[in-house]
Amino acid sequence: MIGSLRHISGSRRDERVRKNTVNMFREIFKFLASLKLALLLLSVIIVASMMGTFYESGFNAEVAKKYIYNAPWFNVWLGLLCINLFSVAAIRYPWKPHQTGFVITHAGIIILLIGGMIDRQYGIEGNVRLNRGQPATNVLELPEEDLLVSVNGESAKTKLIAKSMVTPGDFKINIASPSNDVKVEIVDKFPPLIQLVMQGLPMGRFEKWMFLPDSEDLGPVSLFFRQGTPPIPAPPPSEEERKQMDRSEWHFVYAKYQPMVHTLVGKPTHAEAKLLLDDSGKNPHIDMTFGRNTFDIEVTPNIGKPYTLRGMPGWTMLIKDYFPNFKMENGKPVNVNDNPENPTVIFELHGPPDNPNLLAVYLGPDGKLRYFMKNRWNVESAGEMEPGKNYPGFMPGTEFGIQEFIPSGLTKIAEEDSKRLRGVNFKELNERNGGLMLRVSAKGESRDVWVSESLPQEPDYQKVEVGGQSVSLALPHRAIELPFYVGLERFVARHQEGREGAGDYETYESTLSFGYSKEKQLDTVRLKPDSAALKEWGLSRQNAKGEIVCSIIDMDESSLTLDFADLPSKHSSVVVPKSEVADFFKRTQKISMNRPTTFPETWYGPWTGVNYKFSQAGMDASMPDYSGVQVLRDPGWAPKWIGCIMICFGIFTMFYLKPYFHGRREVKAAAAAVKPGKAESGGKTRRAENLAAGD
């Protein structure tokens, strides 16, 4: 009896536990499907997106990815949103017809989020550097870097993203070292900084903040800030060699005719002069435009006297002679009489050579600053520099110096004393290629060294001697190998009309070749035997199969435009009428701004996102045959597009088809309300019968 009572009591207790557990899970399920949770999740995601936009505009995209989009908490938040969307739909199961749009919309959002998560996990985004005339490559550079530390032939590698480091706390990561005696730490993400000052009567005062390794072309002088030691100055040129480098020009200026200019030494000055006289034909003076300066010079008082041109350092004018009535006799200028019938003045312009002055500041491995200077006459000088001291400049009456030198710690200074660094463009530095300031320690000795980002194929090692150890450091971009090769066959950067000198470009275009080996797969064209193009240049370009290997860079209904890699870019295109073409086979592909291409070319690649998309990303005005190409692999493309289509269709269903579902429900309700054998009258009965009949 007692055992039976215990059994009954235990069964009741188990039943209560089961009911409590079921109730607990039911409450959790209700909470996961609640509107309060949805509003909380959406609010946090909206705020996070706003913060991500702020980080990207204030710093760069890598910072936004680190703190927001690729952060673990953001992944968890997106997962909770998927669970909430699933629970909202699942708690209403079995679904009614009028809930069709609701279910489709929520399923579309879930599929869209899943596609985004697939991209973040398995997607690839990087850049390929291509140069025309060089072999095809399969090296894809990623935004991440590998910090390489080499000691006595042994190396260690640490993966990091330099551009994502913002605060000093981001620098506290463990750097792998191949030797227990050598320790490497990250000190700063900003390179050493100097404030260079140049001043003097001819030029006024000029100040420039320069990061390592900045350069600046100011026209009269080129500035550089480099790492290392300056070269040894060469012996100065002799006086005769300097005279041969000077620029000299003779001007024959007439009052009634076009002037004549004869350049003696150097390049033409392009100075323009006019000879003007008063109403009486006397008091001649020269009106001259030279560079951005204009001069009004009296002739008679300055004959035979060097005249210094203000604002033109080193330039003088020497008026040789003035002739009121000029005439040439026996190859010599003579004056017929003093009547101003053909007034003419002869003068000489003399000035420095057309070579830019050069001033380079070097930061040595010992932490000291040194300079190397070369003026227009190739007179070189070098020496050590101390902040706060001035040194003789590249022309008389000028001097230069370093007003302030900040070797490291810029991140902390920028946070605590922004006024001190007024004029420093940190945002621009965040966007461009940078590096890391590293501190190498060994046996109680430390040395700071700046390591710039470099190419994965050619790591730029910085060597430093510390504690008796020779340590080499490099920061190349991480790279992966594509399953195929890509090469550049042609690159064109079209200027905006009328803006050629300003460096404004309308569009960039690259012609790419693809293949599964380093041997480029180019286009082939076979010309007809009676083709004029074949007789003119095609015979020398035919291969054993009678084909012409080239790149078809353009084609229309009437012609083909061919490009040949062994000719310069600007002169390598040939137009061939299609009437002279027997057949052709095109393998190359063209990309331009907002017009990408894909490879491999399969029917399912664009729909599934498993192929690679190539987009025009950049160029270098100083390298006309270079093209920067962005490569993107998007395996989550299909779920994202399917999700977007489902969201659109679900919203359409909710707004435009929901009344239809409600109408069907009303018809069924009306039909059930009409009972057989029961006499009913009135408008309501007739309306119910009409609805039941489908009217």
Give the model confidence (pLDDT) of 512-539 as tens digits.
Answer: 999 888 888 889 999 998 888 888 888 8
Mean pLDDT of the region 51-75: 85
Domain-terminating residue out of 289, 318, 341: 341
- Looking at residue 613, its pLDDT comes to 92
DSSP string, 619-683: EETTEEEEEEEEEEE-TTHHHHHHHHHHHHHHHHIIIIIHHHHHHHHHHHHHHHH--TT----SH
Mean pLDDT of the region 58-69: 83
- Domain shared by 516 and 613, yes or no: yes
Residue 85 to residue 42: CA distance in whole angstroms: 11
Evaluated on CA atoms 294, 296, 301, 304, the torsion sign reads positive
- Looking at residue 111, its pLDDT comes to 92
- Domain shared by 494 and 608, yes or no: yes
Mean pLDDT rounded to a whole number for the chain: 83
Domain-terminating residue out of 593, 619, 637: 637
- Looking at residue 97, its pLDDT comes to 83
The answer on pLDDT for 645 being more than 50 is: yes
Q: Tally the domains of the chain.
A: 4
- How does DSSP classify residue 267? S
- Looking at residue 693, its pLDDT comes to 37
Domain range spanning residue 396?
193-238+356-406
> Band of the pLDDT at 666, cuts 50, 70, 90?
low
- Looking at residue 121, its pLDDT comes to 83
- Looking at residue 2, its pLDDT comes to 56
Domain-terminating residue out of 612, 637, 662: 637
> Band of the pLDDT at 678, cuts 50, 70, 90?
very low
Neighbours of 292 (CB within 10 A): 7
- Asked if residue 539 belongs to a domain, the reply is yes
- Looking at residue 71, its pLDDT comes to 86
The answer on pLDDT for 691 being more than 60 is: no
- Asked if residue 467 belongs to a domain, the reply is no
Lowest mean pLDDT among 3-17, 150-164, 217-231, 255-269: 3-17
Percent of the chain with pLDDT over 70: 88
Mean pLDDT of the region 393-409: 85
> Band of the pLDDT at 257, cuts 50, 70, 90?
confident
- Looking at residue 503, its pLDDT comes to 56
Mean pLDDT of the region 400-415: 84
Phi, psi angle pair for 422, to nearest 5°: -65, 130
Mean pLDDT of the region 300-321: 86
> Band of the pLDDT at 694, cuts 50, 70, 90?
very low
**R_g over Cα of the chain:** 39
CB 81 within 8 A of CB 117: no
Q: What is the pLDDT of residues 157-205, one digit of tens each?
A: 999 988 888 888 888 899 999 989 999 999 988 889 899 998 886 667 8
Cβ contacts of 575 within 8 Å, gap of 6 or more: 559, 560, 561, 562
DSSP string, 438-506: EEEEETTEEEEEEEEEE-SSS---EEEEETTEEEEEEEEEEEEEEEEEEEEEEEEEEEPTT-TTTT-EE
Evaluated on CA atoms 150, 153, 156, 160, the torsion sign reads positive
- Looking at residue 341, its pLDDT comes to 85
- Asked if residue 456 belongs to a domain, the reply is no
Burial of 661 (0-12, 13-18, 19+ CB in 10 A): middle
Residue 92 to residue 101: CA distance in whole angstroms: 13
The answer on pLDDT for 1 being more than 60 is: no
The answer on pLDDT for 247 being more than 70 is: yes
534-564: string of b/e by CB count within 10 Å (b at 16+)? beeebeebeeeeebbbbbbbeeeeeebebbb
- Domain shared by 499 and 622, yes or no: yes
CB 575 within 8 A of CB 561: yes
- Domain shared by 114 and 252, yes or no: no
Mean pLDDT of the region 55-79: 85
- Looking at residue 12, its pLDDT comes to 67
- Looking at residue 475, its pLDDT comes to 93
Mean pLDDT of the region 590-612: 85
- Asked if residue 510 belongs to a domain, the reply is yes
- Asked if residue 5 belongs to a domain, the reply is no
Burial of 410 (0-12, 13-18, 19+ CB in 10 A): buried
- Looking at residue 120, its pLDDT comes to 83
The answer on pLDDT for 692 being more than 50 is: no
- Domain shared by 87 and 39, yes or no: yes
Taking the C-alpha atoms of 49, 53, 54 and 58 in order, what is their torsion angle to the nearest 10 degrees?
150
- Asked if residue 305 belongs to a domain, the reply is yes
CATH code of the domain containing 368? 2.60.200
Work out the angle between the directed axes of helices 35-58 and 72-90 (0-180°, nearest 10): 150
- Domain shared by 518 and 627, yes or no: yes
Lowest mean pLDDT among 219-223, 240-244, 338-342, 643-647: 240-244
- Domain shared by 385 and 270, yes or no: no
- Domain shared by 54 and 27, yes or no: yes
- Asked if residue 663 belongs to a domain, the reply is no
> Band of the pLDDT at 429, cuts 50, 70, 90?
low
- Domain shared by 621 and 490, yes or no: yes
| CA-wise closest residue to 48 among 15, 80, 28, 71 | 71
Q: What is the pLDDT of residues 94-109, one digit of tens each?
A: 888 888 888 999 899 9
- Asked if residue 616 belongs to a domain, the reply is yes
The answer on pLDDT for 675 being more than 60 is: no
- Looking at residue 108, its pLDDT comes to 93
Dmax (CA) for the chain in angstroms is 155
Mean pLDDT of the region 646-653: 91
Residue 276 to residue 177: CA distance in whole angstroms: 78
Cβ contacts of 292 within 8 Å, gap of 6 or more: none
The answer on pLDDT for 684 being more than 90 is: no
- Domain shared by 363 and 503, yes or no: no
- Domain shared by 328 and 382, yes or no: no
- The type of residue at 673 is A
The answer on pLDDT for 376 being more than 70 is: yes
- Domain shared by 512 and 590, yes or no: yes
- Looking at residue 375, its pLDDT comes to 83
Q: Which residue has the higher pLDDT, 344 or 59?
A: 344
Mean pLDDT of the region 545-561: 89
> Band of the pLDDT at 661, cuts 50, 70, 90?
low
The answer on pLDDT for 4 being more than 70 is: no
Phi, psi angle pair for 167, to nearest 5°: -105, 160
